[in-house]
Homo-oligomer: A and B are copies of this chain.
């Protein structure tokens, strides 16, 4: 079973808390936006979104920081995923 995101959407899988501690990444969230480190699992095709051309710049496997504000959580085969728009991704962690 697989999620194919539409338009400028991206399927993310949160990096586990253990892994976060190992890599030294600790996130401090404000009340407004809860940032999270997540791995890109699937990337939508981009194209015309709300009348504006969107080019997808993240790719599968990227570790990204997002603001969780407009994401939707889905659980498939026991795994939890988050679907966000690419514009909700703030930065790639290298």
Chain A residues in contact with chain B, CB under 8 A?
1-7, 9, 11, 23-30, 33, 35, 42, 44, 48, 50-55, 57-58, 65, 67, 72-78, 80, 83, 86-87, 89-94
Please state the number of chain copies in the assembly: 7
Determine if B90 and A83 form an interchain contact, defined as CB atoms under 8 angstroms apart: yes
Q: Do the beta carbons of B1 and A73 come within 8 Å of each other?
A: no
Q: Which of B3, B25, B42, B50 contacts A52 (CB 8 A)?
A: B50
Q: Do B90 and A27 touch (CB < 8 A)?
A: no
What separation, in Å, do the CA atoms of A7 and B48 have in the docked complex? Answer: 16
Asked if B93 and A1 make an inter-chain contact with CB atoms under 8 angstroms apart, the answer reads: yes
Residues of B within 8 A of A83 (CB): 65, 90-91
CB of A6 within 8 A of CB of B58, answer: yes
Contact of A1 among B24, B27, B75 (CB under 8 A): B24
Q: With A35-B72, A74-B35, A75-B25 in contact, is A91–B48 under 8 Å at CB? A: no
